Amino acid sequence: MRSALLLLVTSFTVHAAPAITVFASDDTGAVEGPPPKTLSQSVSQHALSPDGRWVFSMEAAGLVVRSLEGGAPVTLAAPGARFAVTPDSKFVVTFDTAFTRHPLASKDGKATLARGLTLLPNAPFIVSNTQLAFVAAEGSLQVADLVEGTARPLSVEPPEDRRCHTGNAVPSAISDDQNWLLFQHGCGFDVIRTDGSKTRELGFSSARLVGTLVIGDLGPTKDGEATQLKVMELNTGAKWFIEGVRLHARTVRIPGTENVLMLDDKGRVLFVELRPKRVKVLRDVTPRAGDAPAGAAQAPQVQAPPAPSSPAQTAPSPAQPRPAQQAQTPPRPAPRPPASVDLLPDNEDLRERVGSMREKLILAAKSGNIERLGIVFQTNETMPVFARGGERDPIAFWKQASGDGNGHEILAILLNILDLPPALINKGTPQEMYVWPYLAHVPLANLTPQQSVDLYRLMTAQDVRDMRTLNAWVFWRLGIGPDGTLHYFLAGE
């Protein structure tokens, strides 16, 4: 099923009715929906529940909830009450003089939360499916259980930079697994476990939680522009960067995924997959005359090695995998090349060079079972490198990286690259390695027609354009040493 984001747009003009716009995560265009139906007049505040079934509005009578499936509106709280809806749309939590939990799609009844505690004036409070986080009147950061109603304080140290210490720690979001609370303290963001047992210092100047990932900016560079998005997996502490993207205020998570939509300062709608890291421009909202087309900058030219005399000829693969990081960034210098690159004409006689490792990998991929590939990795002399983010479980990582969720796309990619000839790099040195596909070590700007056909067997034309803009091979590659040891199978430069 294609993931999509529903953007509810409120218009304050009287001549044009606002519309609902859906942006799809694939290459299809935006879809314009019907004009909205008026539910109420004189509304000072409104919200839509995450499941799209309930509309909340602050009216003269107080906080009113309406079901879009029909039925009479219900007044939940007095005028001016604060409210927040749980991500699963089962409860709405209100605060006027006390915190109250109201059921929406839950059999649990109305209940008072955090008895004896009140909210610090003008401070926000947030809810997850099971927890409420808020700043109490005396200034402590508190987490309350939505079912039991009890609250516990979290101990937060003042920020190291005292110049940024402007008051209390303020809750921002709770992770999907309910284990982590993102909070702002002064001019930076950090995270703390909701049981208070551990804190992770982020150093982010702005941050968002996406599942169990936290994304953020480290602050502007010397020229005043942040050009990297930093990502951290909270449970493992693994970190990685996505270049050419910055965290913008108009960033919205696609529910149930680790993907976000961003409307950047250039007017583009970006679809960003955080793991694996990919960036795609869905729509240029505000094209400007005279702008240079994307990728117009010239990548550095590198002298290409000689082409293989007889690349393997096989039927095109039905899989159309994407690079792990697509181009929306300026071209950058090519990485330091190996000391030598020899392109082998085919895969013949490789058993003498790499033992039976290639055949084991092919058999595992053809089985259709990602667990079989995991066995090959586990029986290797050492665990091969399979990710750049510090992940420990290759099978879980491959399933997450695979578009189908079962690792089948990864197995197809493995078969495709092993079907092409390898490149022998750093021959005669301790770093000697056979690398599939050979294209990983051929300058993309200097491919022969035969080599271009091999490249299109692995990826789409758009992916090829993106990699040429990056001036780097960011698709998958596999390396086997001359002694038959598998060293890596990973994506990225």
- What is the predicted pLDDT for the residue at 14? 30
Whether residue 117 is contained in a domain is answered as: no
> Is 413 within the bounds of a domain?
yes
Question: So what's the pLDDT on residue 35?
Answer: 63
Q: Where are the beta strands (DSSP E) in 259-417?
A: 259-263, 268-274, 277-284, 341-343
Contact in structure between 186 and 166 (CB atoms under 8 Å): yes
Q: How confident is the model at residue 329, as a pLDDT? A: 38
Beta-carbon contacts of 55 under 8 Å, excluding residues fewer than 6 positions away, are: 39, 46, 47, 48, 49, 65, 66, 68
Q: How many domains does the chain have?
A: 1
Spatial separation of the C-alpha atoms in residues 20 and 362, rounded to whole Å: 48
| Structural domain for 453, as ranges | 341-491
pLDDT digits 0-9 by tens, 222-272: 555 556 788 999 998 888 888 878 776 678 888 778 888 887 777 778 888
| Cα–Cα distance for residue pair 110/91, rounded to 1 Å | 9
Q: What is the pTM of this model?
A: 0.52
Q: What's the confidence (pLDDT) of residue 253?
A: 85
In 218-312, DSSP assigns E strands to 228-233, 239-243, 251-253, 259-263, 268-274, 277-284
Sheet strands side by side (includes 206-210): 206-210, 213-217, 228-233, 239-243
Distance CA 50, CA 85 (A): 8
Q: Which residues contact 451 (CB under 8 A, 6 or more apart)?
A: 307, 308, 311, 439, 442
The verdict on residue 379 lying in a domain is yes
Query: What's the Cα-to-Cα distance from 335 to each of 243, 328, 427, 493, rounded to whole Å?
Result: 15, 18, 19, 8
* pLDDT score for 36: 64
pLDDT of residue 251: 84
Residue 483 lies in a domain: yes
How far apart, in Å, are the Cα atoms of 81 and each of 57, 99, 145?
Answer: 11, 10, 20
| Exposed / middle / buried, residue 273 (Cβ in 10 Å: 0-12, 13-18, 19+) | buried
* β-pairing verdict for 259-263 and 251-253: antiparallel
Q: Is residue 425 part of a domain?
A: yes
Q: What is the pLDDT of residues 176-186, one digit of tens each?
A: 999 999 998 77
* Residue-level pLDDT at 331: 41
Work out the burial of residue 138: count CB atoms within 10 Å of its CB; fewer than 13 is exposed, 13-18 middle, 19 or more buried: exposed
Residue 95: per-residue pLDDT:
93
Task: List the pLDDT tens digit at each of the 493 positions of the chain.
Answer: 333 333 333 322 233 333 434 444 444 555 555 566 677 777 777 788 888 889 998 888 899 999 888 888 899 999 989 999 998 899 999 998 899 999 987 777 889 999 989 998 878 899 999 999 999 998 899 999 998 999 999 998 776 655 454 567 889 999 999 999 999 877 778 999 999 999 888 878 788 999 999 998 765 555 555 567 889 999 988 888 888 787 766 788 887 788 888 877 777 788 889 988 888 887 765 544 444 443 333 333 333 333 333 333 333 333 444 443 333 333 434 445 566 788 877 766 677 778 788 989 999 999 999 989 988 888 877 788 888 766 778 898 898 888 888 899 999 999 999 999 999 998 888 888 999 999 999 988 888 999 999 999 998 888 888 788 777 888 899 999 988 889 999 887 6
> Considering the domain boundaries, does residue 213 fall inside one?
no
| 221 within some domain | no
Q: Is residue 6 one of the residues assigned to a domain?
A: no
Question: What single DSSP character describes residue 108?
Answer: S
Token reading at 44: 């000072």
